[in-house]
Amino acid sequence: QLQRPFNFSAGPAALPEEVLQTAAAEMLDWHGSGLGVMEMSHRGAEFIAIYEKAERDLRTLLAVPSDYRILFMQGGGIGENAIVPLNLSRGAAVDFVLTGSWSQKSHKEAGKYAHSQIAASAEASGFTAIPDPATWQVNQKAAYLHICSNETIHGVEFQELPDLKALGADIPLVIDCSSHIASRTIDWSRVGLAFAGAQKNLGPAGLTIVIVREDLIGHALPICPSAFNYELVAKNDSMYNTPPTWGIYVAGLVFDWVLRQQEGSLTGLAAIEARNIRQASRLYDFLDASSFYQNRVQPAARSRMNIPFFLTDESRNAEFLAGAKARGLLQLKGHKSVGGMRASLYNAMSDAGVEALIAYLQEFEKTSA
């Protein structure tokens, strides 16, 4: 069997090969049902079994407490930028901490539905740092405070979620965890709502996960579309409208895969997290030791998932990318708003992929001597 190239895409992104193979093997006939998953009724016993296992496994994986609902929705992260204020704002102001493009986008969109404020911003640093929570101007009367816990484009990640109570504000924290969900644990005691598009760590685009504390459900603005009303979605077990069945199935295979991962004595999410830390440190250490490549994010704010970097000689970017592609290292081009390169090391990335990237970085650097 041919080795597949290493895919560093920021999303849609690489999935575990084992998951793709299972999905391929079951494509025409899921477990002897005679039906492929795409062809099943979402209300049939077969799909309900797939859905219930996926929900159960995600709850186990992320240690989601019983007073939080898991919703399988559509609309993506950008959809949630509107859906969250439509459900949670209740006519009050909403707060944002700006740490990169995605939190900026969320702040702007929320302004259509609520008075959208900025509690802190790292824009002056070029989004290379996270403002110290002690300096945030949190509105204690806001309906919630939103952060993007991993900024996919700028490569900035909260290593610890803020404790809003300790900051004197007893308001829910909303996290957009699209690009690092299932890569590390979530401290639910600090979170009211978490949302994530599936297409980075969980599966195909088209599925959006929302995990929301029960008391925050049931307060949607009258203009909220029914399909996006958390109360209706929760009451109908994510089947108020037809859910993204294929996405739920593939994500379910990914949850099962994560739960079975092992690293030494660690299993499941702990194993995945240890692997992610090892891989990201390996790449950051290499970049920091080199004068040819550069990552500009403050070490304390660096993402384990998305690692932007620049060549000192940017005129060689195209040559770098062509050489990478020729060696089976795909989708390393940085986001257009930041430039340079970006290596996304999601859960499905192997150590071998990171080593192959570093070997190429070394090789390319030598050609410039």
Whether 208 has a binding-site annotation, put simply, is: no
Whether 22 has a binding-site annotation, put simply, is: no
Tell me if 148 contacts ligand PMP by CB under 6 A. Answer: yes
Residue 312: helix, strand or coil by DSSP?
Answer: coil
Cβ proximity to ligand PMP: between 11 and 192 the closer is: 11
Tell me if 152 contacts ligand PMP by CB under 6 A. Answer: yes
Tell me if 176 contacts ligand PMP by CB under 6 A. Answer: yes
Phi-psi region of 181 (alpha: psi -120 to 50; beta: other; left: phi over 0): beta
CA-to-CA distance for 100 and 122, rounded, in angstroms?
8
Tell me if 178 contacts ligand PMP by CB under 6 A. Answer: yes
Place of tokens 């240890």: 274
Burial of 227 per CB tally in 10 Å (0-12, 13-18, 19+) = middle
For the bound state, the minimum distance from the C-beta of residue 224 to ligand PMP, rounded and expressed in Å, comes to 18
Q: Which of 7, 179, 201, 331 is in the footprint of ligand PMP by CB under 6 A?
A: 179
Q: Kindly state the greatest CA–CA separation across the chain.
A: 64
Burial of 124 per CB tally in 10 Å (0-12, 13-18, 19+) = exposed
Cβ proximity to ligand PMP: between 194 and 357 the closer is: 194
How many Cβ atoms from other residues are within 10 Å of residue 303's Cβ? Answer: 28
x-or-dash string of contact with ligand PMP, 64-83, rule CB under 6 A: ------------xxxx----
How many Cβ atoms from other residues are within 10 Å of residue 205's Cβ? Answer: 15
Residues 217 to 246 in contact with ligand PMP, rule: CB under 6 A? none
Catalogue the active-site residues.
102, 176, 200
**DSSP conformation class of 3:** P
Helices (H), the chain: 17-25, 45-61, 76-88, 101-110, 230-235, 245-259, 268-289, 317-326, 351-366
For the bound state, the minimum distance from the C-beta of residue 304 to ligand PMP, rounded and expressed in Å, comes to 14
Whether 199 has a binding-site annotation, put simply, is: yes
**Residue 291: alpha-carbon gap to chain centroid:** 30
Tell me if 308 contacts ligand PMP by CB under 6 A. Answer: no
Tell me if 197 contacts ligand PMP by CB under 6 A. Answer: yes
Whether 137 has a binding-site annotation, put simply, is: no
Cβ proximity to ligand PMP: between 11 and 252 the closer is: 11
Cβ proximity to ligand PMP: between 11 and 203 the closer is: 11
Cβ proximity to ligand PMP: between 205 and 239 the closer is: 205
Task: Determine the interface stretch with ligand PMP among 65-73, 90-98, 172-180, 309-317 (rule: CB under 6 A).
Answer: 172-180
Q: Which of 47, 102, 158, 293 is in the footprint of ligand PMP by CB under 6 A?
A: 102
How many Cβ atoms from other residues are within 10 Å of residue 31's Cβ? Answer: 11
Q: How many amino acids of this chain bind ligand PMP (CB under 6 A)?
A: 12
Q: Answer for the pair 261, 267: CB distance below 8 angstroms, yes or no.
A: yes
Cβ proximity to ligand PMP: between 60 and 101 the closer is: 101
Look up residue 277 and give its two tokens: 């830390």
Phi, psi of 68 (to 5 degrees): -115, 140
Binding-site residues, in ranges, read 43, 102, 152, 176, 199, 241-242
Binding-site residues for L-glutamate, in ranges, read 43
Positions touching ligand PMP (CB under 6 A) are 11, 76-79, 102, 148, 152, 176, 178-179, 197
